[in-house]
Amino acid sequence: MTLNGVKSPPTPHRITLCTENQEDKPKVKVEVKNFQKPTIAPKARRKLNNNRLHILEEPLAGNNHKLTDYFPVRRSVRKTKTTVLEEKQRCLEKALRNNVEDGLKICYFEDKGRGVVAEKPFSKGEFVVEYSGDLIDIPEAKKREEMYAMDQNTGCYMYYFKHNNQQYCIDATPESDRLGRLVNHSRNGNLQTRTISVDGKPRLVLIAKENIQIGEEILYDYGDRSKESLKHHPWLAN
């Protein structure tokens, strides 16, 4: 067959080659057709291996609506709102499990003692620090509070909160290397508290309420407005 392309006068011998070639022609044609439409070529080849796919392509004839008539084609790989939220949640859980407290430092203030200052900017909604301590129930909290009340020097580190309709308390009274317990109070602070379940246990996190700049002290509202507390801690009114 390769001889066929050679330009030389036809001989009887060549003629036989030619007829052979003619027999082959339909086969060659199919191949050519495939090459003309490179996009279908791999499918067409697969069709030979797999009859079922062959059936699939036939009634394309257009008596069926297409899914693209109903659903928009997404050009970019944008994530849906739920996946974004899920990812955020997972990120937060990971930070909590690893006790992440990045971008913060302890500062000493003349008037109120220790406080925590941002060393990197935090954007609104970002996790800043966990209020970590012992997670205890209310009766236990009452017991501990009575104990702490005996010593005038202990500060107030008991955080009461509700999670899934149940009251809890985080007691961060004992000195630790965690920063959450050192964040000071302000009625209009730049953080807000949120509870979140990690591995079945409620955790208390402080989230940026607004964009926080480097060097800004981080503050949140302790939420205690009771007369008794105000009498002992007048700064709660600030």
Q: Which residues are near another protein by CB under 8 A?
A: 42-43, 46, 49-50, 52-53, 55-57, 59-60, 62-74, 77, 83, 86-87, 90
> Measured from the CB atom, is 22 or 49 closer to another protein?
49
CB of 97 to another protein, least distance (A): 14
Query: Can you tell me whether residue 116 is helix, strand or coil?
Result: strand
Q: Which is nearer to another protein, 70 or 108 (CB)?
A: 70
Fill in the DSSP letter of residue 212: B
Closer residue to another protein in complex, CB, 89/229: 89
Cβ atoms of 93 and 134 within 8 Å: the answer is no
Judge whether 181 and 220 are in contact, CB under 8 Å: no
Least gap, CB of 201 to another protein (angstroms): 17
Residue 128: CB minimum distance to another protein, A: 22
Least distance from another protein to the Cβ atom of residue 32, Å: 22
Q: How far is the CB of 134 from another protein (least distance, A)?
A: 28
Check: CB of residue 102 under 8 Å from CB of residue 186: no
CB of 86: closest distance to another protein in angstroms? 6
Query: Locate tokens 């001889």: which residue?
Result: 3
Closest CA to 127 of 93, 150, 156: 93
Q: Is 57 or 119 the residue whose CB approaches another protein more closely? A: 57
DSSP-derived pairing of the beta strands 184-185 and 219-220: parallel
Q: Which is nearer to another protein, 42 or 215 (CB)?
A: 42
Compare residues 96 and 158 and give the one whose CB is closer to another protein: 96
What would the DSSP string read from start to end of 12-44? HHHHHHHHHHHHHHHHHHHHHHHHH-TTTHHHH
Cα separation values, 193 from 58, 61, 64, 119, 149, Å: 60, 60, 54, 20, 25
